[in-house]
Amino acid sequence: MEQNSSLQTSKGADEAGTVSYTVDGFVDYKGDPANKLKHGGIRASIHIFAMTILENMANLGTSVNLMTYFYYHMHYDLSQSANMVSNFMATTFLLSLVGAFISDAYISKLHILLVFGSVEFIGFMLLTIQAQTKSLHLPPCDMFEPNVICDHVSGRKSVILFSGLYLIALGSGGLKAILPTLGADQFDEHDPKEQRLVSSFFNFFLFSLCFGACIGVVFLVWLQNNEGWDIALSICSSSILIGLFLVALGYNKFRNRIPVGSPATKIWNVLAAAYRNRNLDIPSDIKDLYEEEVHQNNKHKLEDLERLPHTTQFKFLDRAAILASVTKGSKLCTVTSVEEVKILIRMLPIFASTIVMNTCLAQLQTFSIQQGVTMNKKLGSLEIPSASVPIIPMAFIVILTPLYDRVFVPFARRYTGLETGISHLRRVGIGLVLSIFSMLTAAIVEIRRKNIAKEHNLVYANPILNPLPMSVFILGFQYFIFGIADLFTFVGLLEFFFSQAPKGFRPLGTAFAWCSMSMGYFLSSVLVRVINEITKNLTSGGWLKGNNINLNHLDLFYWALAVLSFLNFFNYLYWANWYTYKRVESNH
């Protein structure tokens, strides 16, 4: 799993021998070559961090308490609410692919960012209007009373609810693909000084996500529970608008990558050419495969070309670049184009191996929140909403990220020689191991919680009126362990996909990290349904069926996830050792 990525270096000198501060492949807001002294760097990335904080404050501050919104205000039962939250979160992350395929295809990431931010703003405004309009509310109903049937939202109320939610999902998904890549683009990987800052950017991107999340899960959740969802959603709408304004203020500071066409088109061209030439023999000599020659004297000064050497994996794709295959109307692909598709294929097993971990994450944002509803939420004279419990891992990440970046990485760099301290794949692996312990801890805590409910005859009690004599902060153990796991795995994945993806595919590469979360949330919904179906004859309706979590078998579900995570780790080890890091031939 050693990282052997070879990077180009550029002295940035022009033909006269003077130092040039332009950045190949990037322009400013006027379309002129980007200048390092005026564009990019920390001066531009600050605007990315600000937008990230405000967007994640609004998005996570809403989604973390969305289960209680579905349950108490929209009258869906527990398993329905959990699945709807999981599906909403999964769709949000999956829609990062939309942003990935659009950005840098025909217009710059910066302009696409402003578009997706506006879409998310409209979504929050729809939810705000519904929350503030009494005619769009449901009548009060006691969801915890077993003999009462509460009708869930329907008709135009349902249309407004889900239109708003999925506009938020589309906007947020697009931003998730664009924000990290646009921020990392502000640092030149060919400049040794700026190259080191790329890794720091991703660490502090996670810092920004968690800092915004801390504000959201405390401030917004408190507003939702005490002042009303209408006020909380109004603030969410305002925060997105302020974030877009701050990005616009830095409009003239960004380095914008020149659009190079859609990744989807490039992938399709290679696959179509390989299929068209499926009956041709693969040449034994790579000289019979087509590659464009690049000469310094005719290379456009703004192009940031990346030439990839031929590899022997997935040989069937080499047919797309066979020189003798050109026929009228057909298009010949270069070796580099073929290798770009091969790189994406190599990434897929790594991507797939992190899905189970994100299935575990889905439980901490659904069932763990519902656990907290039944527990004692007092901290001295204050009462902490159960949906605010995730502040524990978020706060630790906010504290630990600067220490990781400024202490651990330089220390590890002395021994590994890697700018990132440890290789991306090792960092991901550490997080996967920690996620196993998080689920084991969650199972043990749930066993203790249910025992206390039985001991005090509170199994059927209304948790709002009679909470268990057990502090909600006990849940902090599972959250804390998973928070550290996320510090390793999520940033490791972002760095891995950004550094390994071909330059024209980088938004798509980083979207893989978010899509792993999406698949994890979808898998969570599937697992809940499957486990309920398998266990319906063993328990009343299944392990996770019904509105009373004290009667469910959530502890057994956590044990199952721990076992699944353990098996998945060995699957990851195999693919991590199989993976070959990208090599680049210099064009300079």
User: How many residues would you count in the chain?
Assistant: 588
Spatial contact of 237 and 49, defined as CB atoms under 8 Å apart = no
Q: Whole-angstrom Cα distance, residue 319 to residue 276?
A: 8
223-250: b (≥16 Cβ within 10 Å) or e: bbbeeebbbbbbbbbebbbebbebbeeb
Class of domain 22-259+353-578: mainly alpha
Q: What is the pLDDT along the chain (588 residues), one digit of tens a residue?
A: 444 433 333 444 444 444 456 666 788 778 788 888 888 888 999 999 999 999 999 998 888 888 888 877 776 777 777 778 878 888 888 888 888 888 767 778 888 999 999 999 999 999 999 888 877 777 776 656 666 667 667 778 888 888 999 999 999 999 998 999 988 888 887 777 787 788 889 889 999 999 999 999 889 988 888 888 889 999 999 999 999 999 999 888 898 887 777 788 888 889 988 888 888 888 877 777 877 765 444 444 444 567 888 888 888 888 888 876 555 445 678 888 899 899 999 999 999 999 999 998 888 777 887 888 888 888 777 788 777 777 877 888 888 888 888 888 888 888 888 878 888 899 999 999 999 999 999 999 999 999 999 998 888 888 878 888 998 888 888 888 988 898 899 888 988 988 888 887 888 888 888 888 888 888 888 888 888 888 887 776 678 877 778 888 888 999 999 999 999 999 999 999 999 888 766 554
Nearest alpha-carbon partner for 80 in 62, 66, 92, 61: 66
- Return the domain boundaries, the chain: 22-259+353-578, 263-341
* CB-count burial class (<10 Å; 0-12, 13-18, 19+) for 415: exposed
